[in-house]
Amino acid sequence: MNPRTAAILVTAALVVYFVLLGGRAVALLRDGGTTAVLLGVAVLLLPLLGVWIVVATWRFGIRTDALARKLDAEGGLPDTSDLPRRPSGRVERDAADVWFDERKAELDADPENWRNWFRVAQAYDLAGDRRRAREAMRRAHDLAE
């Protein structure tokens, strides 16, 4: 299953969950008791927060996909298929570190180029550092605007 299909399925499941949770919140609010109303408000905040997170995640993914397509069209999207991998499919740590050092050197040479930030984000992701990968990709988004 490709990542886009998985994201659509997870989003659909979350929408169903948010609707069901919202229904429970409304039922608690209609009860009228102080405790029920307070609990209803608290339960209603959960799907609202969830919707915000889902929308933000989709926006990030769509922007990242657009940059990847642009970089690929320019011939600058790196191919990592030749990197040695573990049985799990993850890139070997030493190979990921070497690949990261190469991308970091490119970034250091031209830190205002969104393409370099995109590639560094990819390198962080290969190394398993998702937090830094998202930060670097956000920087790529900002510079590409």
Per-residue model confidence (pLDDT) at position 79 = 86
CA 126 to chain CA mean position, Å: 14
Proportion of the chain above pLDDT 70, given as a percent: 100
Euclidean distance between CA atoms 44 and 28, whole angstroms: 10
Q: What is the pLDDT of residues 94-109, one digit of tens each?
A: 898 999 999 999 999 9
Q: What is the pLDDT of residues 9-50, one digit of tens each?
A: 999 999 999 899 989 999 999 988 899 999 999 988 988 898
**CATH T-level assignment (fold) for domain 93-144:** 1.25.40
Sign of the torsion formed by the C-alpha atoms of 6, 11, 13 and 14: positive
pTM of the model: 0.79
Q: What residue spans define the domains of the chain?
A: 3-73, 93-144
Contact between 1 and 15 under an 8 Å Cβ cutoff? The reply is: no
Euclidean distance between CA atoms 58 and 80, whole angstroms: 25
